[in-house]
Chain A
Amino acid sequence: MAKVSPWITAAEEKPVEMSSRIRLARNVRDIPFPHMLKGGEMDEVTARLKTVLSGFGEVDLNVMKFEDKALLVEKHLISPLFTKRGQLSYISGDESVSIMVNEEDHIRIQVMGADESLDELYERASELDDKLEAEINYAFDDKYGFLTACPTNVGTGLRASVMLHLPGLSLGSRIQRIASNLNRFGFTLRGIYGEGSVPLGHIYQLSNQLTLGRTEEDIISSLNELKMRIMEEENEMRSIMNDDHLLKAKDSIYRSYGTLKYAHTISLKEAANHLSNVKLGMDLNLLPENTIRFQEQIQLIQPAFIKMRLNTMEKEYGSLERAVDEERATLLRELIGGTS
């Protein structure tokens, strides 16, 4: 049965802030970027990577079934693009570090964490970066810094991001104003699952858009500052909810709790919305602390995770979508302690 990453299971659940991620884009000098490559041109590079990354699990995407790749995407260990053209990735034991070989760039280093600050995660990524550089010759330019396939990554090659649960801002309409303000500073705030008006589970990702002309520390400290401001605004909305609209809030939170506990078929969107409400209820001290593990369960309800459960049961099903929705409800009843 598919499990969520150990670093998520081990993490402490906090209000609003979910997890952070650092990504570094790097390329090898003298080899064209991945979209121009013919087979075999990266073989020597991967051979060298192997020795540096000997403690990592090696994942060969060429021999993987689609569902297994989809699971890695849902765990944020590889990107959607990588399922189509990726070949090799390296994943650490606790799944907090992953390295994609031949995604949009030759090398993408990614470090995720929930209890560590962005600075600490960057430190880890940068150390690994140094180790790789000792073995490989990076494409680096005095003026433009690290050269990348796409000009949106050139310079530091750094994308720092924070995942935030923002039901207060999302339910009001303040989020659009905040997002467009951020754009002007070179940062973006967008739904992590889907670009719709209200993203799945009210989960947003704040990240830097510009990678050139600022130091890594500078980018990260600005991001931290913006994060604090967004969190303040979210908490302000939650206070208003608590002080002026408590009956309405309680009603929707307990209805969601009831639905998760007793539903027999539920779509991804609905389940995510109810989990979001229940998490809000926990943060507002309306529900006991351990009612759900939001970060874990928002992953467990994703299609590939559910599909894995179906596969192990060898159950006959006529409609895949219906079977997935039914199984999702069963899982949630088990997790939230209703009848199974």
Chain B
Amino acid sequence: MICESCQENEATVHITTGSGLNKTERYLCEVCANKSFSNQFANFPDDSFNIHQLLQSLSAQQPAGAGMKQKRHCDTCGSTIENILKNGKFGCADCYGTFSGKSNEIITRVQLYQTEHVGKVPAKSSAYLKVKKEIESLREKLAELVERQEFEEAAVVRDQIKSLEAGDGNGEG
């Protein structure tokens, strides 16, 4: 007998599932029989929670607040908010910020109105964030100074930014 699944190899394994009226019998080759074992995982412990329904009801709604300001695509990974809601997953870390209004809405819903992390802060990452914020605020300062044509002061700030960027990330790359 030929394997029902691949129609190629000799069927050496006979699998019955269910009982009574729901009983099905299959004749498979060794390879296909092993594959069919994966069905047993349908009920296996899994960490994930099904959030698709939760997110589906969100996708029908208008994006919160931001409106026109929200980007269509994430620059880093190309995800759209439709993709994210469909997959129930963000495409990359930057998606959180790119779609900030919507991601806040998603998180609020999934995490039962919690929106702030209060747990572990990893040493290196938090140092990185601190530097990143400092650079951002210095850049704003620089723009202001340039606008006011205070170039001497601006040069100092620009050097500060450069030196921060050079040491940025504490050993990154």
Question: A and B bound?
Answer: yes
Residues of chain A at the chain B interface (Cβ within 8 Å): 23, 27, 29-33, 35-36, 65-67, 70, 73, 76, 79-81, 83-84, 104, 126, 129-130, 133-134, 137-152, 154-156, 158-159, 186, 188, 192-196, 205, 209-216, 303-304, 307, 317-322
Pick from A27, A194, A320: contact of B43, CB under 8 Å: A194
A152 and B92 contact, CB distance less than 8 A: no
Cβ of B149 under 8 Å from chain A: no
Complex Cα spacing A192 to B122, Å: 32
B92 and A31 contact, CB distance less than 8 A: yes
B34 and A141 contact, CB distance less than 8 A: no
A147 and B89 contact, CB distance less than 8 A: no
Pick from B37, B97, B103, B114: contact of A70, CB under 8 Å: B37
Known pairs A80-B44, A142-B129; A212 contacts B13 (CB<8 A): no
- Across the interface, name the chain A residue whose C-beta is closest to B118: A215
Known pairs A137-B169, A152-B48, A303-B40; A147 contacts B114 (CB<8 A): no
A-B CB pair tally, cutoff 8 Å: 184
Per the 8 Å Cβ criterion, residues 23-53 of B in contact with A are 33-35, 37-38, 40-41, 43-49, 51
The distance from the CB of B51 to the nearest CB of chain A, in whole angstroms, is 6
A-B contact pairs, 28 of them (CB 8 A): A23-B47, A33-B92, A36-B91, A67-B37, A73-B41, A79-B47, A83-B41, A104-B48, A130-B122, A141-B96, A141-B117, A142-B129, A143-B115, A143-B117, A144-B107, A145-B119, A145-B120, A151-B106, A154-B107, A159-B47, A209-B49, A212-B116, A213-B116, A303-B40, A319-B16, A320-B14, A321-B16, A322-B14
Binary A-proximity of B58-96 (CB < 8 A = 1, otherwise 0): 000000000000000000110100000001111111001
Cβ of B126 under 8 Å from chain A: yes
| Complex interface: chain B residues within 8 A of A144 (CB) | 96, 107, 115, 117
With A141-B96, A146-B122, A216-B120 already in contact, 10 other A-B pairs whose C-beta atoms are closer than 8 Å: A30-B93, A32-B92, A134-B124, A152-B110, A155-B114, A210-B111, A213-B111, A213-B118, A304-B37, A320-B33
A155 and B45 contact, CB distance less than 8 A: no
Complex Cα spacing A144 to B103, Å: 10
Known pairs A156-B117, A321-B16; A133 contacts B125 (CB<8 A): yes
Complex Cα spacing A39 to B144, Å: 44
Complex Cα spacing A304 to B39, Å: 12
B90 and A151 contact, CB distance less than 8 A: yes
The distance from the CB of B12 to the nearest CB of chain A, in whole angstroms, is 9
A205 and B115 contact, CB distance less than 8 A: no
Pick from A126, A149, A159, A212: contact of B115, CB under 8 Å: A212
- Across the interface, name the chain B residue whose C-beta is closest to A319: B14
| Complex interface: chain A residues within 8 A of B112 (CB) | 186, 210
Cβ of B123 under 8 Å from chain A: yes
Complex Cα spacing A319 to B120, Å: 52
| Complex interface: chain B residues within 8 A of A145 (CB) | 117, 119-120
- Across the interface, name the chain B residue whose C-beta is closest to A194: B43
- Across the interface, name the chain A residue whose C-beta is closest to B172: A137
Cβ of B15 under 8 Å from chain A: yes
- Across the interface, name the chain B residue whose C-beta is closest to A213: B114
| Complex interface: chain B residues within 8 A of A194 (CB) | 43
Complex Cα spacing A81 to B90, Å: 17
